Amino acid sequence: MKIIVTGGGTGGHVYPALSIADEIKKRNPDAEIIFVGTERGIESRVVPESGYELKIIDAAGINRRKILENIKVAYAGFRGLRQCMGILKEFKPELVIGTGVYVSGPMVFLSALKGLKTCIHEQNAYPGLTNKLLGLSATEIMTGFESSENYFVRKKRVHYTGNPVRKEFYGIEKNEARKILGFPLEQFRVLSMGGSGGASVLNDRIKESMTILKNEEIYFTHITGKRYFEKFM
C-alpha cells in the first residue's frame, strides 16, 4: 500500500504525523510511506532523521496582518499544487493523510479532487483553518478531542481517536529516565511545555512560578521552544 503523509511547520503537527506513519508500518511493514512538507518547517529535519523520504513543496500560510503579502502566498500555493500533481502522478498513492497546517492543504485537497481516499487528523480542541476546509472533502476526519467534532460540517465522517503518541514515550521507567538525565530519583520535579514551537506567555508564567516557589523543594524542567530559549535563560 502506498501512502502520503503531509503536515508540518511545528512539532505539534509533524510528530503526530510520524506517529501515524510508524503505526502503519508496524501493522503493515510492506507499506510505502512518503512525507510531503516544506523546507522551512521542522519536518525538513525530523522526517529524514526518522527514516522517511520527504518531498518538498512550496506553501505558505495566510498572512492576516499584512494583506498584500498574501499575493506571495497565493503564488506559492499555485506552485505547490503543481508540485503535488507531480508527486501524485509519480508515487500513485492509495491513501493521503494530512495532519494540518497550510502545507497539507494542497496535497489533501488535490487528492480528494482526484477521488483518492483522504483523511485528516486534528490535534487541537479548536481546529485550524486548513483542517476546517479540508474537512469538507476528506473521506475521514480524526480528532484528538471529542469537542472538535462541533467545528466540522460533515460530522458523520468525524472519529474521535485521541492524539497519536510517539513510541519513544513508552518502554522506559521513570527512575531509568532520571538516571539518564542525571536527576535525583526522589526529587519532586515539574515538566512543563506548551505551544507547538514554544509559547512566550507560558514561558513568562513558568518564570513567575519559579519565583513564587523558589523556597520550596520543587525543581522545574521547562521546554521553552528554540526561538525563546535565549530570552528565557
The chain-wide mean pLDDT, for the chain, equals 89
The mean per-residue pLDDT over the stretch 203-225 comes to 89
Give Cα 92 to chain centroid, integer Å: 24
Share of the chain above pLDDT 90, in %: 63
Coil, helix or strand at residue 60:
coil
Coil, helix or strand at residue 33:
strand
Please give the pLDDT value at position 157: 97
Task: Kindly indicate the confidence band of residue 61, based on its pLDDT and cuts at 50, 70 and 90.
Answer: low
Please give the pLDDT value at position 72: 65
Rg (CA), the chain: 20
Domains recognised in the chain with CATH numbers = 2-167 (3.40.50.2000), 172-232 (no CATH)
Distances (CA, A) of 108 to 11, 53, 123, 187, 201: 20, 18, 17, 47, 33
pLDDT tens for residues 6-58? 998 888 889 999 999 999 999 999 999 999 999 888 899 999 999 999 999 98
pLDDT tens for residues 100-148? 888 899 999 999 999 999 999 999 999 988 999 999 999 999 999 999 9
Q: Residue 123 in contact with residue 12, Cβ under 8 Å?
A: yes
Distances (CA, A) of 131 to 82, 83, 95, 187, 203: 21, 20, 17, 42, 28
Q: How far apart are CA 17 and CA 11, in angstroms?
A: 9
Question: Quick check: 189 pLDDT over 80?
Answer: yes
Does 77 or 230 have the greater pLDDT score?
A: 230
Q: How far apart are CA 160 and CA 141, in angstroms?
A: 8
The three grid cell numbers given for residue 31, joined into one nine-digit string = 507499506
Please give the pLDDT value at position 174: 87
Please give the pLDDT value at position 23: 95
Task: Kindly indicate the confidence band of residue 68, based on its pLDDT and cuts at 50, 70 and 90.
Answer: low
